[in-house]
């Protein structure tokens, strides 16, 4: 899309690709303040997601019946996905029950916030902002370390970084690698995977928007205007791809949460 | 292509540097959500799962009980039917045997009756014969004596002698008759 747009930039006005800053809207409170100085749209959406999720699920369970109605059926679908597909299948019948609320809350929280990026006007996936992704990964990071220490005491850190069944002379090499991999890289990848996929999806939307505007509004050539329409058509396909990625990333983040906690619980069995 | 220079040149921020307020808001928001889920939503879903499992398993148990009961009844009816058939066969057999017995009795009784009648008839005939012989005995003797007296005259007045002659004659007659019968 940029390949179409950039060479034409010399005609009337230069094509300016959207930047990260363009995705950082001015804050709401104080009104139109610089991004980062006050309360912004992204934060509003995060709070809105909690309200929406609470409202939907409380409404679904208020008249919970043995034979579920339509709303209850959908709500139970989300719950049993987090409970059975993620929790029980990863953590096993023995361990999963206490963790179902955390996994379910994580999944629906991420899912709705990601899907905000696909809803016109809202149109910003909350986790395309690094702060939110760091916050979630940090919470999970603290949880699985806490679980390990609670279950195995301080011995947990030894269990987590010293692999069993390897010759002693290789340990000086492996232990630093395990420390880096488990305690530094793991939370970073956990957060950045989510942030990067959401940001990329959001950038593509912004790029398709500015590119199509440039081709249709600024350019005089009918042919180039037509390619602008092609860009819009292409962005529709991208929209559905993004939709898939939004759902997938919410699932992946929750799945990894379950795997990390399970790893801490079973730290002594490998 | 969009390169790092393009982004930086057009004033793009570093996407890895977080807005601290967003960390805070997200953390608090998630904590609230987790509280609501743990306190209200998850327990309700778990409870409805349990209830549903119980309802389904209870239904299955009830259906199994009904099935067992139906099977028991079927067994019972089959047994009763079998019993009734056996009984009917028994009745039929005994009726047949009884009929045969009655028939045999009747045949025996008829044979006895006919034998009795035959014997009675024989007896009567015999006694009549004996009576006839006795009466003939007397009459033939008298008639023959009269006849012979008339023929021979006075010579035969002596009863004793004539009686001996008659007796001998009758004995001869009897012997002849017996020889005739035995022939």
Cis peptide before A30 (omega within 30 of 0): yes
CB contact under 8 A, B42 and A100: yes
d(CA B22, CA A129): 8
d(CA A18, CA A10): 18
* Non-local CB neighbours of A83 within 8 Å, separated by 6+ positions: A96, A100, A103, A104, B45
String of b and e for A55-67 (b: at least 16 CB within 10 Å)?
ebbeebbeebeee
Model pLDDT, residue A176: 93
CB contact under 8 A, B19 and A129: yes
- CB atoms under 10 Å from CB of A5, counted, come to 23
Residue B52 Cα, gap to closest chain A Cα (Å) = 6
- In this structure, of A62-76, A123-137, B1-15, B76-90, the range with the lowest mean pLDDT score is B1-15
Confirm if A187 and A257 have CB atoms less than 8 A apart.
Answer: no
Residues of B with CB under 8 A from a CB of A: 1-2, 6-7, 10-27, 29-30, 32-34, 36-38, 40-42, 44-48, 51-52, 55
What pLDDT digit, counting tens, does each position of A219-259 carry?
888 888 888 888 889 889 999 999 999 999 999 999 999 99
Mean pLDDT of chain B: 85
Residue A47 Cα, gap to closest chain B Cα (Å) = 6
Interface-testing mutation among B2, B17, B40, B41, with chain A (most A C-beta atoms within 10 A): B41
Going by C-alpha positions, the residue among A119, A182, A184 that lies closest to residue A156 is A182
Interface-testing mutation among A7, A50, A72, A78, with chain B (most B C-beta atoms within 10 A): A50
Which chain B residue has its CA at the smallest distance from A22's CA? B12
String of b and e for A126-162 (b: at least 16 CB within 10 Å)?
bbbbbbbbbbbbbbbbebbbebbeeebeeebbebbbe
Model pLDDT, residue A40: 86
CB contact under 8 A, B37 and A104: yes
Q: How many CA atoms lie within 13 A of A188 on its CB side?
A: 8
Query: Mean pLDDT over residues B64-86, rounded?
Result: 95
- Nearest by CB to B33, which of A80, A83, A105? A105
Model pLDDT, residue B8: 46
CB contact under 8 A, A47 and B29: yes
Interface-testing mutation among A13, A130, A191, A208, with chain B (most B C-beta atoms within 10 A): A130
CB contact under 8 A, B37 and A105: yes
CB contact under 8 A, B34 and A61: no
Confirm if A262 and A143 have CB atoms less than 8 A apart.
Answer: no
Confirm if B40 and A75 have CB atoms less than 8 A apart.
Answer: no
Confirm if A57 and A105 have CB atoms less than 8 A apart.
Answer: no
- Nearest by CB to B44, which of A61, A105, A126? A61
Sorting pLDDT into bands at 50, 70 and 90, what band is B101? Answer: very high
Residue B5 Cα, gap to closest chain A Cα (Å) = 11
Model pLDDT, residue A8: 45
* Non-local CB neighbours of A73 within 8 Å, separated by 6+ positions: none
SS3 A195: helix
Q: A19 to chain B: which residues are within 8 Å by CB? A: 7, 10-13
Domain boundaries, chain A: 2-269
ipTM of the prediction: 0.87
- Nearest by CB to B22, which of A129, A138, A139? A129
pLDDT at A121 over 70: yes
What pLDDT digit, counting tens, does each position of B12-58 carry?
578 888 888 889 999 999 999 999 999 999 999 998 888 888 888 88
Sorting pLDDT into bands at 50, 70 and 90, what band is B180? Answer: low
> Which CA distances in Å does B20 have to A130, A131, B26?
10, 6, 10
d(CA A14, CA A22): 17
What pLDDT digit, counting tens, does each position of A186-223 carry?
999 999 999 999 999 988 888 888 888 888 888 888 88
d(CA A99, CA B112): 107
Model pLDDT, residue B11: 45
Model pLDDT, residue B43: 92
* Non-local CB neighbours of A210 within 8 Å, separated by 6+ positions: A15, A16, A17, A18
> Which CA distances in Å does A22 have to A34, A35, A39, B92?
12, 10, 17, 107
- Nearest by CB to B2, which of A17, A101, A106? A17
Residue A162 Cα, gap to closest chain B Cα (Å) = 31
* Non-local CB neighbours of A242 within 8 Å, separated by 6+ positions: A117, A118, A201, A204, A205
DSSP label at residue B14: P
Which chain B residue has its CA at the smallest distance from A108's CA? B33
């Amino acid at each position: 899309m940029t390949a179409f747009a950039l060479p034409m930039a010399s005609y009337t006005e230069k094509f300016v690709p959207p930047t990260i800053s363009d995705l950082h809207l001015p804050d709401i409170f104080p009104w139109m303040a610089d991004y980062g100085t006050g309360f912004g749209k992204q934060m509003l959406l995060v709070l809105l997601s909690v309200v929406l999720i609470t409202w939907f699920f409380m409404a679904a369970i208020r008249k919970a019946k043995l034979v579920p109605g339509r709303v209850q059926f959908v709500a139970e679908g989300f719950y049993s996905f987090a409970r059975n597909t993620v929790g029980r299948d990863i953590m096993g019948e023995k361990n999963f029950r206490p963790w179902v609320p955390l996994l379910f809350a994580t999944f629906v929280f991420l899912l709705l916030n990601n899907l905000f990026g696909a809803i016109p006007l809202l149109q910003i996936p909350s986790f395309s902002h690094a702060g939110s992704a760091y916050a979630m990964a940090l919470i999970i990071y603290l949880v699985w370390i806490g679980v390990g220490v609670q279950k195995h005491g301080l011995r947990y850190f030894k269990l987590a970084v010293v692999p069993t069944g390897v010759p002693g002379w290789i340990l000086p090499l492996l232990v630093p690698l395990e420390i880096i991999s488990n305690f530094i890289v793991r939370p970073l990848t956990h957060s950045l995977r989510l942030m990067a996929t959401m940001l990329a999806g959001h950038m593509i939307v912004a790029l398709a928007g500015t590119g199509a505007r440039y081709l249709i509004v600024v350019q005089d050539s009918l042919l180039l205007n037509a390619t602008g329409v092609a860009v819009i058509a292409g962005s529709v396909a991208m929209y559905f791809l993004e939709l898939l990625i939004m759902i997938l990333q919410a699932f992946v983040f929750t799945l990894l949460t379950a795997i990390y906690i399970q790893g801490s619980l079973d730290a002594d069995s490998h | 292509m969009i390169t790092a220079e393009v982004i930086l040149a057009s004033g793009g921020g570093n996407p890895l540097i977080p807005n601290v307020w967003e960390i805070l808001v997200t953390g608090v928001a998630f904590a609230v959500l987790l509280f609501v889920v743990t306190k209200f939503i998850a327990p309700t879903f778990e409870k409805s799962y349990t209830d549903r499992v119980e309802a389904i398993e209870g239904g299955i148990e009830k259906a199994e009980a009904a099935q067992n009961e139906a099977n028991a009844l079927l067994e019972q009816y089959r047994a009763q039917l079998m019993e009734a058939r056996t009984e009917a066969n028994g009745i039929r057999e005994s009726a047949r045997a009884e009929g045969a017995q009655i028939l045999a009795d009747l045949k025996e009784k008829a044979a006895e009756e006919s034998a009795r009648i035959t014997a009675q008839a024989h007896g009567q005939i015999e006694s009549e014969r004996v009576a006839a012989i006795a009466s003939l005995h007397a009459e033939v003797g008298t008639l023959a004596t009269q006849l012979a007296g008339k023929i021979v005259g006075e010579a035969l007045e002596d009863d004793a002698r004539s009686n001996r002659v008659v007796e001998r004659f009758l004995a001869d007659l009897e012997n002849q008759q017996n020889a005739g019968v035995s022939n």
